[in-house]
A and B are shown apart, each in its own frame.
Chain A
């Protein structure tokens, strides 16, 4: 065992020596480094390049595929990241776990540009730890070739004629949330009977469901495999650009609103630089360039008049304020999450 240990130590130190050499030779100059950990394609590359030039910094951009993955990494002590982009509910979890730094608002004067509703989201009222970056609403996307009448209610997914043609997000909170909203409850209900009602209702929808698929929902809608389904507004915009027959509506009962945020993980080495970057992204002109490139809704009010006509007239990106008012955030349901997961498993395995 001793030999094995010394071999290990040898490997480690040899590798360290190697990388130390590799790093010092490659970095050159004394530019500050900003380490971003985010979703793929979440920034316009030019916007990052401009920031690097303007402030003489180097931006490293690493990607993750889910909030849980990011959380696991941060919890495992992946110190070194300066900016992360957790979604709404994950912000609440991370605040509770003490994993986020408070944002120093003096360094982020552009925060005032954000639409007021996003300045007081329930997961972080007052933007103490997070600032909304991209957002959207889960509504109904439908193909006009097969869905003749414009849907107005979640009820429409239950219609017999859409047998095997309804697509849903692959997420327990989103799907149960939809069924809860349809039945007039909160999408974050912790009431057992309400959950039971929603689940019973979901079971009757199952014959219509072609798939629970978040990753390929766009492809399935574009290829007309699915006719109608619960789709994020940003994805709906993407789908419509590829297949003009697809339209999008936010049902009258209401819908779930979500956001990905900008936040700074505890112990970030370049906190001020991260704040500088956050502030830069919220500059109206920068944000116009950035959001038109990535195709998401811009929460920046000051930027609205600067956006192109095309972007502004897209109702999946520039959502109607009345629709936003009907939308509801998913909030932490505590222990009840197990109930959601149990129903979810039952729903999927009972297919």
Chain B
């Protein structure tokens, strides 16, 4: 490893450029004075300012945040409960159940979106915020469970058994031993669910209804009118907040492996 492979380093950098160049250009042009994406005319904040004065953008932002918050709380609660349940009780079809729970991660989003839309219209439910929240909760649960299950697996059974040996009731074990230990995982799961909800386009596209346009849906609608710097600015904000959330989630997820001592 001492001898640096220049070709390989160069290739790595090339890959990074390949991956991030489009995003970098998108961000760069959100500061462009000109209305057109083709020519650079100088630096400005005006597109960001006009965003915050735009009622529709603010409405879409509020929708995204409300839906993201409620769905990620639901997904975290349900996902945590399910992870603990699956770990503790030996279900007869454990592997099958496990597989079924993680399946939505690999099912093409468009299928899930369509399936949910069909379900909602069969149930005669009006599309809107409620259906969006349910859909987002549904696709977030598996991700929450992956994170929390990993955390639970790290924890082992010893602490739990020790607690019970010392006379803790199952509820006390849960409240004072298990939950505090997996809390970083829960927070990471929550942030992940929130990020997924904030970013989702495809599934939202299917199940959105009146008064439930989220940011990604709004951006899509705007693009049909031509890409303007406002779209760039809005996308930049979405990218930056997503990246920040993922970083925070990752920090929480890592925190556990250091703090746990047996």
Residues on A lying within 8 angstroms of B by beta carbon are 3-4, 7, 10-12, 14-16, 18-20, 22-23, 33, 35, 37, 39-41, 45, 49, 60-66, 73, 76-81, 215-220, 222-223, 225, 235, 238, 242
Contacts and interface: CB of A to CB of B under 8 A. Distances in A.
B137 to A, nearest CB: 6
Given A215-B223, A222-B36, A15 B127 contact: no
A216 B36 CA distance: 10
A347 to B, nearest CB: 23
B259 interface: no
A15 B70 contact: yes
Interface string B46-62: 00000000111001000
B38 A219 contact: yes
A65 B201 CA distance: 13
Nearest to A41: B225
Contacts of A60: 59, 210-211
Given A35-B211, A63-B218, A222-B38, A10 B78 contact: yes
Given A19-B70, A45-B56, A219-B36, A80 B223 contact: no
Contacts of A63: 213, 217-218, 221-222
Interface of B: 35-39, 54-56, 59, 66, 70-71, 74, 78, 82, 97, 100, 117, 121, 124, 126-130, 133-134, 137-138, 141, 206, 208-213, 217-218, 220-227
A18 B36 contact: no
A89 B130 CA distance: 33
A93 B129 CA distance: 29
A15 B54 contact: no
A15 B221 contact: no
A231 to B, nearest CB: 12
B222 A40 contact: yes
Given A11-B138, A15-B71, A35-B210, A65 B38 contact: no
Given A62-B209, A65-B221, A220-B38, 11 more contacts: A4-B97, A11-B74, A11-B134, A15-B134, A18-B70, A22-B70, A37-B210, A60-B211, A62-B217, A76-B127, A80-B128
A220 B211 CA distance: 34
The 3 closest A-B pairs by CB, nearest first: A63-B221, A223-B38, A60-B211
Given A11-B134, A15-B71, A18-B70, A40 B225 contact: yes
Best-buried of A37, A63, A215, A220 by chain B (most CB within 10 Å): A63
13 contacts: A11-B138, A15-B71, A16-B134, A18-B133, A22-B66, A62-B209, A62-B210, A62-B213, A73-B127, A76-B121, A78-B126, A80-B127, A80-B209
Nearest to A14: B74
Given A16-B130, A216-B227, A225-B38, A40 B70 contact: no
Contact of B130 (A19, A35, A222): A19
Contacts, number: 124
A20 B217 CA distance: 23
Contacts of B224: 39-40, 65-66, 215
A71 to B, nearest CB: 14
Contact of A218 (B134, B138, B226): B226
A14 B70 CA distance: 10
A4 B138 CA distance: 12
A4 B71 CA distance: 19
Nearest to A26: B66
A73 B220 CA distance: 15
Nearest to B223: A215
A242 B134 CA distance: 44
B211 A62 contact: yes
B133 A219 contact: no
B226 A219 contact: yes
A223 B74 contact: no
A47 to B, nearest CB: 12
Best-buried of A4, A45, A49, A62 by chain B (most CB within 10 Å): A62
Contacts of B124: 77
B129 A22 contact: yes
B137 A15 contact: yes
